[in-house]
Each structure stands twice: as C-alpha cells, then as structure tokens.
Chain A
C-alpha cells in the first residue's frame, strides 16, 4: 500500500535544494536487515550503532522477510543481501537463507563470530546444492589483533580468523570486507598485504573488499562526523556515477519499512514506505553519508 508522497522524502527543512537526484532504474539488489540493529558486538565505527542492546530497529519476522522476498521476486530482483546487526543472531536464519536462495543469489553480511563448525558445515551444503550463488561477507578490520580489536572488540580478531579458516576448509571463500579505519589500511599495498594474509589463513581464492568509513553512527564519536553536512551540489551526477549507486538499483527493507539504502536505515527521512513498490521513485542525495558513495566511491554490493 502506498503512503502519501510528502511523507517519503526528506522534509523541506532538511532538504538541500542543490543536492542531485538519483533516478530509480530497477530493483537489482534487495538488502534485508533481518537482524535489525541487534548485534553480538558493538564496533566503534558502526554506522548504524548496532550492538547487544541495540533494539532500535527490531529483528524482522519470518513473515516480514518472506513478504519482502516475494515483493522482490515480483520486481525481478537479482541479488539479496541479509544484514543487521548480525544475521546469524536471527533464530530462523536457516529458514530465511533457504527462502532467499530460492529467489535469487544471496549474500549474508556477517561478523563470523557465530560460524561454528556445525553452522559452516550447513552453509557448505547450501553452497553446494543451491541453484543460485550463496556468498558470505565477513568483516575483519585488520591483519593483527592490534589493528582489528580496537574497532571490532577484544578477542574478535582470533575468532574471526578462526571462522575464516573453518569456511576455507569447508570450501567456502568468503569476501573479507575491511573498513579503512586507519591509514595502514589504505592503498594498493595494504590491499596486497591483506590478500596475502587471507591466503595464509588457508583461503585459496582470497576475495577482498575495502570500504571507506561512513562518518555517521558510532563512528561520529570515535573520530568525527562529516565536515560538511552535504558536499554534493549540482542538479545531476554523471550517468556513470548515478547508474552505479546502490540507490539507483536497489532498496533496503527493515522491520520499519522500505529505505533508500542500507546505510540510511536509521534516518526517518530515508524511509520510502511500507512496500517495496513504494521505493520505485527518485531520491535526492540530501544525507551527509551520500558523499561517501558519490565522492569516495563506496558501493555496498560485493
């Protein structure tokens, strides 16, 4: 059911008149925040301030997820991302995984802390037998505990590294995502060293995705927010940039409704309605985080 148009885009007060618009092309990617903001760790750079006591966005029910998947199917979705919080905290994660992989390729974005031997064995079975691609994105923010643990939490390094090893032994090569939270993690040299590091964990085909910092949420307290509320000006972006933005080809669904993208799920002004069909319209890049996608090239998809 559609909601009134006036409710869907940022309020007049918050809108920057000169911010460019992004047309919605089609639903290529559907992000589903199945775990809400609930997470088993509280990363200091988390842009939506997830954590063990973060109940601001509730976990989605199986019915809500299945409804989103069905709506996605009807719109010809190509790939689904499960996110949170931590998706493996969802008590019905296996049921939800089977449901998504029957519709389209699925990527689960995880901190890997709950990937014990039994879970990995189950994932390997799904990977082998599913018709569409199952992918795991594992967050690891350093090649040492000294580099990772200050942002992801004490003793997370060893646990994540152990989980990556378990996945590799089961034949799964996860995409390791690294947030560039310090200078040592920027540039091609860091990338090359990180690839070697992942290879050293027993991953024969290492895959890596570096992500620039989003200066919202908890990161705003760790370092600082954006220097300008919105550095984006001009009526239009180049088509090469606009067409590749996630908000041109995807939407995020949470227990609170449909949002422009997974980065802005805590911004009420980024809510587009109840149903996925409500999201099929242009948006204006009014939010401060939009500059990271446009100017630093962040693309949430793998």
Chain B
C-alpha cells in the first residue's frame, strides 16, 4: 500500500495542488493532511477548497482550531516576542481571509486519525498525541520520550508535523516516528522545494521524503500582492527561514542561514 502525508500547508495552495498530482503519480492510494492549512501564505480559502474537493482526510492543527473557532491567536506555541510578532501578522491575515463557510469544517476536524496500513497501525496527529502544538524536533525528541508517546498511543507508527522540518526515526522497539515536514514553506535548507512523506508498505524502509517543486515565484508574487511580510516572501524565494527562528533548537538553528 502506498499513502502520502502532507504536513502544514500554510496557505500554499500551489504546493498543495502540485503535491496532489505528484502523490497520485507515485501511486498513492490514500492521501492525508496533518493540519495547519492556513497561515503564512495568501488566500487561505484556496487550500481548504482543494482539500475538501479532493476529500482529503485532515487532522486539525492548532491553526485550524484557532481559525475555525475564531480564537484570539493561532496557538502556535511560540515563546519568543519576535516569533509571536510575525505569528500575529500571519494569523490576523488568515483569520480575516478565511470564509465563514469553511469555519465549521475547520472547527470540526478530528484531532487525530488512526488508520491501518496492511497491519501497521498508524496514528496521525498535528503536533504530538498529547498536545496539538507540541514541537517534535529531531534533536530534542529522545528515543525514550518517543517510545513513551508511541507506546501510550498503542500504535506502530506516529506521524506528525507542526515543526516544518521533516525527519524520521526507527525506535529501538521497532516502532517509528515520522515528522512529515511541511508543504507550506521550505525546510530551512536553502532549497525552494517543499516536502511531503510517502509510505510504501512493500519496502523495508517504508517511508521516504519527497522533495516537491512548485511555482514558488508565483506564490511569492501573490504574497506580495496581499501585502504579507517581505520576510515570509524571502523564505519562499530562498529556502531559508527568516521568522519562527527562536523556537528552533540549537542543532536545527545552526543548519539555517539566520
């Protein structure tokens, strides 16, 4: 069985459209979205409409909960004033530009999806099984901690997003954690492509990360037309994060430009 997993969309409807085509071309029989449909990018309705039109099962991210329920902030979980400054700009735009018709759909998304991939129990969450906005970074998620999460959930594979940087690990128990990354913005690696995860249960290493090219120039153009911060646009055009930096652990931060 092949299945594709899309992390934070962050209103990158162009990336989402390209990913839907790419995943099906690669034989994905099932496609899932792990939440945070809006934020960062332009025209949030367009990503929602794509997911709804294609019937993509979607986990509720903190952004979806916040927009769907018109909360005061995005609930991203940042602690630094600079991170929060840009989070407020992003959230205000997204909240204002998400149509009322989509809010109940966002508000009613499930917090987790459990599915059986030919005998492998997979749990899909946004942040972690215990907290929607918990950041599971590779360098700050010890094996014992992950074993604790996965065994508490009683699954074989835990899939998550929220951080924006993809990674995976096979745990000593044989269970696995996969952070599927994000379709919404590059992975702070100086490349303009975005990433999603593809599972093939016939392979000995069932998960691979797929780099996805899309029309990032057009996305940047539309972000400027919508007067979104130039810092966001720079990330799309360069592949380096310019915001949400303070939440990065030391190891992940050292790999970026800023």
Is the pair A105, B249 in contact by a Cβ cutoff of 8 Å? yes
Contact of B253 with A by CB under 8 A: yes
Contact check: which of B144, B145, B251 meets A133 at CB < 8 Å? B251
9-residue interface stretch from A1-9, A40-48, A75-83, A145-153: A75-83
Contact of A159 with B by CB under 8 A: no
- A73: chain B residues at CB < 8 Å are 142, 144
Contact check: which of A104, A173, A244, A301 meets B250 at CB < 8 Å? A173
Least Cβ–Cβ distance between A91 and chain B, in angstroms: 25
Least Cβ–Cβ distance between A57 and chain B, in angstroms: 27
Is the pair B140, A127 in contact by a Cβ cutoff of 8 Å? no
- B190: chain A residues at CB < 8 Å are none
Contacting B at CB under 8 A, from A71-106, are 73-79, 103-105
Least Cβ–Cβ distance between B96 and chain A, in angstroms: 22
Among B82, B140, B142, B258, the one with the most A-chain Cβ atoms within 10 Å of its Cβ is B142
Among A127, A132, A134, A172, the one with the most B-chain Cβ atoms within 10 Å of its Cβ is A132
Contact of A191 with B by CB under 8 A: yes
- A228: chain B residues at CB < 8 Å are none
Least Cβ–Cβ distance between A195 and chain B, in angstroms: 9
A286 to B233, CA, bound (A): 47
Contact of B211 with A by CB under 8 A: no
Among A26, A78, A301, the one with the most B-chain Cβ atoms within 10 Å of its Cβ is A78
Least Cβ–Cβ distance between B128 and chain A, in angstroms: 10
Is the pair A132, B140 in contact by a Cβ cutoff of 8 Å? yes
Interface residues contributed by chain A, number (CB under 8 Å)? 30
Among B80, B141, B145, the one with the most A-chain Cβ atoms within 10 Å of its Cβ is B145
Contact of A121 with B by CB under 8 A: no
Is the pair B142, A103 in contact by a Cβ cutoff of 8 Å? yes
A79 to B141, CA, bound (A): 8
In the complex formed, the residue of A with least CB distance to B71 is A240
Is the pair B144, A76 in contact by a Cβ cutoff of 8 Å? yes
Contact of A180 with B by CB under 8 A: no
In the complex formed, the residue of A with least CB distance to B130 is A26
- A243: chain B residues at CB < 8 Å are 131
A109 to B131, CA, bound (A): 27
In the complex formed, the residue of A with least CB distance to B252 is A133
Contacting B at CB under 8 A, from A199-247, are 205, 207, 209, 243-244
Is the pair A207, B246 in contact by a Cβ cutoff of 8 Å? yes
Provided the pairs A103-B144, A104-B142, A205-B258 are in contact, do residues A135 and B250 lie with their beta carbons within 8 angstroms?
Answer: yes
Least Cβ–Cβ distance between B80 and chain A, in angstroms: 8
Provided the pairs A105-B249, A133-B140 are in contact, do residues A76 and B145 lie with their beta carbons within 8 angstroms?
Answer: yes
- B79: chain A residues at CB < 8 Å are 244, 299, 301
Is the pair B81, A191 in contact by a Cβ cutoff of 8 Å? yes
Provided the pairs A105-B249, A173-B254, A205-B256 are in contact, do residues A79 and B140 lie with their beta carbons within 8 angstroms?
Answer: yes
Contacting A at CB under 8 A, from B4-55, are none
What sequence of 0s and 1s flags, for each residue 116-146 of chain B, a beta carbon within 8 Å of any chain A beta carbon? 0000000000000011000001011110110
Q: List 30 A-B contacts (CB under 8 A).
A: A73-B142, A75-B148, A76-B144, A76-B145, A76-B147, A76-B148, A76-B149, A78-B140, A78-B141, A79-B140, A103-B142, A103-B144, A104-B144, A105-B249, A127-B251, A132-B139, A132-B142, A132-B251, A133-B249, A133-B252, A134-B251, A172-B250, A173-B254, A188-B81, A205-B256, A207-B246, A207-B253, A244-B79, A299-B79, A301-B79
Which 9 residue pairs across A and B have the least CB separation, nearest first?
A: A76-B148, A133-B139, A133-B249, A105-B140, A135-B250, A104-B142, A133-B251, A76-B145, A133-B250
